[in-house]
Structure 1
């Protein structure tokens, strides 16, 4: 039904979560690249119907928002990420902004406990989204609505993929690789890497007042420790005399094999060791049965890391926009 034939005022819309998995087709009246994952996520507990919200004009979905928490969930059942936010693109631009922002505020008040930091928003977009007028319009409609709620862009990231059949160099012997022994073994190396990081999330942690050690511990505990794949995949690269130069964390998340983290110690940067580390991590994953691809990501502005992935044959198949809110979420009504 054309928008001109319905009443474009927020009070006439219904904002509500799904009543259960059976309503998933309603949520998927709008589309996004992650739609195919939602049913399995619900079964696995990575999502909850109460975290999947729609704005309804009668029985027509004009906007939706959804949160995710990954395997194991977060303490207290708090979602970790807002990764669905869509508005019917047939609506006039002012209505897209107003309806999208109103839904998001209503849903956030119900989903995110009062006083809790609002989960970050992540949107996957085409790699050439700025050059494609249609893709750019979709992105700007979403980010514009989010900005009216106080969100700001934190970083744009390259999403990268190595595909089976792409050559991976044999170990040239420049470094000796050993498995990570334990949490302290890796955190001790993550700490100096964090001090000079080009990663926007790491910089945000440091700007919040965390020390480099505290930021490294937080990254380990909140992300790396969640991976259920063997920790003996994780590698530290050392010179022949035993001096460590960096590390790589190959793992598998809920969906794909990934290079979860890679770092070169500050005193050894610019000497090409990132290539050795990345190749080792990719070899570990590529040697597992049935691996068709390995995923990774790096900030758009982290040119040395992006170039390392390019040299090894990773392709930039997508980008991610990450937006954050400063402060806690809205209070529940």
Structure 2
């Protein structure tokens, strides 16, 4: 049976009372859905299902930060992987096309699509098929792969890393100082998001947008943030320990270009992790691009374990 022969009902859910219906397809984010609706990170009108009678064939949901008024990410796009009687990629594509036309502003660039996958997803035939089908559905609607990222986690089971004595650490003085350092760190960055943004704007604009859209929204104290300096006071880099809506994390970390290659990233990451560990948190999350081997190595040396990966697709 193909999508053309199905009598599909494609619609948003009516509200929290349909979360059980929406959650019939298992996924790592299912346990967050009720809280997201309560806290305003999701809306029922952004959570769509494709039904064949009473059978849930596919679903999708957009997400935003609490208090946001428009979708920021498409972080759920699922198909019933047991539905071998249908073209799953076509069903997912039809759902995405229909929901996007009804939800997103006409002519707007769609939000990024994220898919959380296991660390070894390519080695599991069933998971690989599921991931590739979802990616194909997004590609069919004009999206393309931007980057694959590694997700890390530190827990108190590992000793809290401690920075050496080469650097000094102090709080950020003000927003202007933070923006100046962010601009400098963007020089030679390996981060795919930053590199993509730099194709369309100056380093100053990219830094300002990142600060306003992401860092300014952290609800944790900014005196957690640390500037790393040499004993002379010359800045070397910075780290932003924070907490998002779900867990403590390393929000951003960087070494200034002129100080790269000396292993300072280990000390800076150790300080950021220490700030959170000293608060008694039960975990610290972090992420970096698969291609950023120096940063991935720093996380492993600091006692972080690889938690999973994320597929990140965008629309040009």
TM tier relative to shorter chain: over 0.9
Secondary structure in 2 aligned to 1:12?
A: coil
For structure 2, the 5+ residue unaligned runs are: none
Q: Which moved more, 1:88-97 or 1:25-34?
A: 88-97
1:57 partnered with 2:49: no
TM-score (norm 1): 0.92
Q: Which residue of 1 aligns with 2:106?
A: 114
Matches within 5 A, 1:184-333: 184-208=176-200, 210-289=201-280, 291-326=281-316
State the alpha-carbon separation in 1 of the partners of residues 85 and 278 from structure 2: 49
98 and 169 in structure 1: CA distance in 2 versus 1, 3 angstrom threshold: closer
1:126-153 Cα deviation digits (max 9, x unpaired): 0001111111111111111111111100
61 and 179 in structure 1: CA distance in 2 versus 1, 3 angstrom threshold: same
Given that 1:13 and 1:55 are in contact with CA atoms closer than 8 Å, whether structure 2 keeps it comes out as: yes
State the alpha-carbon separation in 2 of the partners of residues 170 and 45 from structure 1: 38
State the alpha-carbon separation in 2 of the partners of residues 138 and 161 from structure 1: 25
1:237-273 Cα deviation digits (max 9, x unpaired): 0001110000000000000000000000000001011
Q: C-alpha displacement at 1:233, in angstroms?
A: 0.2
Q: How many residues align?
A: 316
Given that 2:242 and 2:249 are in contact with CA atoms closer than 8 Å, whether structure 1 keeps it comes out as: yes
Q: Which residue of 2 aligns with 1:24?
A: 19
Given that 1:10 and 1:102 are in contact with CA atoms closer than 8 Å, whether structure 2 keeps it comes out as: no
Q: Which residue of 2 aligns with 1:329?
A: none
10 and 325 in structure 1: CA distance in 2 versus 1, 3 angstrom threshold: farther
What stretches of structure 1 move > 4 A for 4+ residues in a row? none
Given that 1:78 and 1:113 are in contact with CA atoms closer than 8 Å, whether structure 2 keeps it comes out as: no
State the alpha-carbon separation in 2 of the partners of residues 217 and 235 from structure 1: 19
State the alpha-carbon separation in 1 of the partners of residues 93 and 262 from structure 2: 47
Q: C-alpha displacement at 1:10, in angstroms?
A: 5.9
Q: Root-mean-square deviation (CA), in Å?
A: 1.3
TM-score (norm 2): 0.97
Q: Which moved more, 1:163-172 or 1:314-323?
A: 163-172
Given that 1:54 and 1:61 are in contact with CA atoms closer than 8 Å, whether structure 2 keeps it comes out as: yes
